[in-house]
Homo-oligomer: A and B are copies of this chain.
């Protein structure tokens, strides 16, 4: 069975909202995420429910069935593997690859992404630090990955991911040199606005609470 790009995007969006806010995704949330109208969502949601990819009760929102979840995870797998390819092989910056991967993730071929995965030597995390599900849908975890704002003064860690993949945010990080794999140390914290001074490659920079709560850190030791 094969699904349309649109169906796949709905499933992916539902999966994303579910894993952020728990089950039962509302029509409006979906409309928001997919940049469409609530009425369109209602239509599509009925269609997906008929195909048993989601459960749907009028006015009660939707949630993925096992089958729907498998499909969503697979699309995410495709997306992230393509992102690795674009960054590692085609030398894109990590903040340039999202839109292209949005297209590539829908290419219909059982084999293609598996071969790409071989070619890339089975990466576990994408260039944003997000985990890449394996073929069976298992999602790798990281030991002790926490948000930067949970790091106490004096503690160190390595940037391994970002929570917010918004383009402007990624460009800000690029600008500030806060890129994946960099080692950082918390030097000071200002109570009044929760901003922090951190050390990165011998330089000290100040970042807002907004920023520190969106950076994922792998704590050193």
Contact = CB atoms under 8 A, between A and B. Distances in A.
Nearest to A89: B119
B90 A100 contact: no
Contacts of A103: 107-109
A112 B92 CA distance: 9
Contacts of A115: 90-92
A93 to B, nearest CB: 12
Copies, count? 2
A141 to B, nearest CB: 29
B109 A107 contact: no
Interface string A112-137: 10011011000000000000000000
Contacts of A90: 112, 115-116, 118-119
Interface of A: 89-92, 99-100, 103-104, 107-109, 112, 115-116, 118-119
16 contacts: A89-B119, A90-B112, A90-B115, A90-B116, A90-B118, A90-B119, A91-B115, A92-B115, A99-B109, A100-B107, A100-B109, A100-B112, A103-B107, A103-B108, A104-B104, A104-B107
